[in-house]
A and B are shown apart, each in its own frame.
Chain A
């Protein structure tokens, strides 16, 4: 069966802004031509994965590792530097705008910072109802109001707030307005970029429960970008772990939690905060500071910070994703490394299915 979404060798580089003098220093002549060596941010670097219909794939990883860029390139909000994206078997990477339009409606995104996508002049009802009107799904105001109120209730907003303006809402409330707005189009695939980061635990729980229900009812497929591993474990079927533009490990949620392979995955799991003051666990510390995506060196992107032994091969050969078990791959030259992860109170019978 063709997956709903397939991404092949996706790459997105951003040239770095440099001062004039720096640029002059980087000028050189080659075969009589002047060439400027531009520094580039390798935001997404050769990423491939697929998502089956009805499935949720989580994209987790360090701040700045390329998660949001991946989501945006898939939706063609950014043009890829190279690589392909297939939706329902159709390659959409090079589709002209007109042919892309039907896919745009089926593929939606919820952004990390809700206030940036809300127009301060539209009241909440208008903000949520706008896509309904623009796309001609609903034609009269009365129907719109009813549908919008349903959507507001679905995301835990009081329908009485229909006429209020977005800037009067708290951070969490704004994110729920955005959710209602996206859901109004009945999309098939939603990129959720940190959709619950600004919500408190209780609303997070409520919202995730709503999303699960909507997913089951409408067969929605999600790419769920998050840094919150606890939510990810609860919410997602599979997890892809990214580090500096590359997927370093991918597998079922249970496989990632119970049998993590890559040293970065292990470090991430070991650093989960626990709601207990003064609790002490063995956190696998990463050396140095957050990784640098500018002109990365050859070899493993994680080599500079890897808590496991870093051998010569790590510095020279880029590790490929290799099969660990069925559906589980990791990109490390030492998949047998013995780094131990101490999860908070691990119980090894983790089985979690959509209710």
Chain B
């Protein structure tokens, strides 16, 4: 068994962030969408947590709930607690919450449209974000913006900072958003699909940058992605989400060597192995569940290959196995060891 580094880190009195039973619902003309449906997990200092799941699983909504950026109406956080350094963010008045955004908790938004304003220069937007929280001149802030753009691999940053978002390529916009999120070096960075638009060599450099930030000074990272391969090289804990719920919470080694939830198992098998020839890639059969009308019992049961009668009726509870590992499945035990070989870390 590999040694779990986090256990050696000495006693940690409080996790940096504790999410307890959060429920974020959307009330629409067509019914209620339980985008986040009772999610609990914690993030320790120095920890890098991945949230993995298919499109619509509720990953972004989980991140946005932590920042209290749920558009209301139609959305509302209807239950739970979000404890950051001992403070329940859900109880704070909006003005105080604003203090937490950007400085304590930074976010790399999934969509450029959410983060960048099309009518301002890219450099101006980053400089302004810096100036809100720092006592400095316009010139100093501008220099900081240029430095951040250089860090995210924008070549010729002095000149490119003068440009507007539409003059950037897709990947350059994504990197500008990363610069914007990191300019105030937040303690907790929520990165929502930060590298989906990047080629592998640029991605590797950006991941390294995010990693340096997260590890440094015991900061923490929540890395939202559907790309298991990228998360595998970065994160030490994995939360697998399905239909608004976390169905498995495992360390990286546990998940990749021995996934417990059938959805996690099928997800690992759907990876494209470039070394193999395949006429069709394995896909998880069936459609993602209708968010207005989730299946009874275990939400995954219509697509699960281990489904039995009880799965269609009773929702499995999250149970703790092997120390701090958790899984929500009635039949998690009877899984044949996966064919995936795992290289042990040094």
Q: A-side interface residues toward B, CB under 8 Å?
A: 14, 16-19, 39, 60-64, 68-69, 112-113, 115-116, 156, 158, 160-161, 163-164, 168-173, 193-194, 197-206, 208-209, 227, 229-231, 233-234, 257, 267-268, 271-280, 283, 286, 289-294, 343-347, 349-355
Does B150 contact A289, Cβ atoms closer than 8 Å?
yes
Does B162 contact A200, Cβ atoms closer than 8 Å?
no
Does B275 contact A203, Cβ atoms closer than 8 Å?
no
Interface residues of B, CB < 8 Å — how many?
78
Nearest B residue to A156 via CB reads B287
Spot the interface stretch: B87-95, B98-106, B153-161. B153-161
- The 19 listed contacts between A and B (C-beta, < 8 Å) are A16-B162, A17-B164, A68-B170, A113-B113, A161-B290, A163-B30, A172-B56, A173-B55, A201-B228, A268-B199, A268-B201, A272-B274, A275-B268, A278-B252, A279-B232, A283-B204, A286-B201, A290-B205, A354-B279
Q: In this assembly, does B175 line the interface, its C-beta being within 8 Å of a C-beta of chain A? A: yes
Q: In this assembly, does B69 line the interface, its C-beta being within 8 Å of a C-beta of chain A? A: no
Q: In angstroms, how far is the closest chain A Cβ from the Cβ of B52?
A: 8
Contact of B171 among A64, A173, A268, A271 (CB under 8 A): A64
Does A171 contact B275, Cβ atoms closer than 8 Å?
no
Spot the interface stretch: B15-23, B128-136, B190-198. B190-198
- Chief secondary structure at chain B's binding surface: loop
Does A347 contact B275, Cβ atoms closer than 8 Å?
yes
- Chief secondary structure at chain A's binding surface: loop
Q: In angstroms, how far is the closest chain B Cβ from the Cβ of A270?
A: 9
Contact of A200 among B55, B175, B200, B252 (CB under 8 A): B55
Which 5 interchain pairs have the tightest Cβ spacing?
A278-B345, A172-B55, A63-B171, A200-B226, A292-B155
Q: In this assembly, does B202 line the interface, its C-beta being within 8 Å of a C-beta of chain A? A: yes
Residues of chain B contacted by A271 (CB below 8 angstroms): 200-201, 203-204
Q: In angstroms, how far is the closest chain A Cβ from the Cβ of B316?
A: 21
Q: In this assembly, does B229 line the interface, its C-beta being within 8 Å of a C-beta of chain A? A: yes
Q: In angstroms, how far is the closest chain B Cβ from the Cβ of A208?
A: 7
Interface string of B269-281 (1 = CB under 8 A from A): 0111111111111
In chain B, residues 91-128, which have Cβ atoms closer than 8 Å to a Cβ of chain A? 110-113
Contact of B205 among A277, A289, A294 (CB under 8 A): A289
Q: In angstroms, how far is the closest chain A Cβ from the Cβ of B105?
A: 21
A203-B283, A276-B232 given; name 8 further pairs at CB < 8 Å. A62-B199, A64-B155, A164-B28, A193-B170, A201-B227, A275-B271, A289-B153, A290-B154
Does A293 contact B55, Cβ atoms closer than 8 Å?
no
Docked Cα-Cα span, A216 to B169, in Å, equals 32
Residues of chain B contacted by A39 (CB below 8 angstroms): 159
Nearest A residue to B53 via CB reads A200
Q: In angstroms, how far is the closest chain B Cβ from the Cβ of A340?
A: 16
Does B199 contact A63, Cβ atoms closer than 8 Å?
yes
Contact of A227 among B54, B150, B200, B345 (CB under 8 A): B200
Q: In angstroms, how far is the closest chain B Cβ from the Cβ of A33?
A: 25
Does A158 contact B228, Cβ atoms closer than 8 Å?
no
Nearest B residue to A352 via CB reads B277
Residues of chain B contacted by A233 (CB below 8 angstroms): 272, 274
If the complex has contacts A194-B170, A294-B159, A351-B277, are A61 and B54 also in contact, measured as CB distance less than 8 A?
no
If the complex has contacts A14-B167, A160-B290, are A290 and B153 also in contact, measured as CB distance less than 8 A?
yes
Nearest B residue to A64 via CB reads B169
Docked Cα-Cα span, A171 to B57, in Å, equals 11
Does B201 contact A113, Cβ atoms closer than 8 Å?
no
Q: In angstroms, how far is the closest chain A Cβ from the Cβ of B283?
A: 4
Q: In this assembly, does B26 line the interface, its C-beta being within 8 Å of a C-beta of chain A? A: yes
Docked Cα-Cα span, A187 to B281, in Å, equals 25
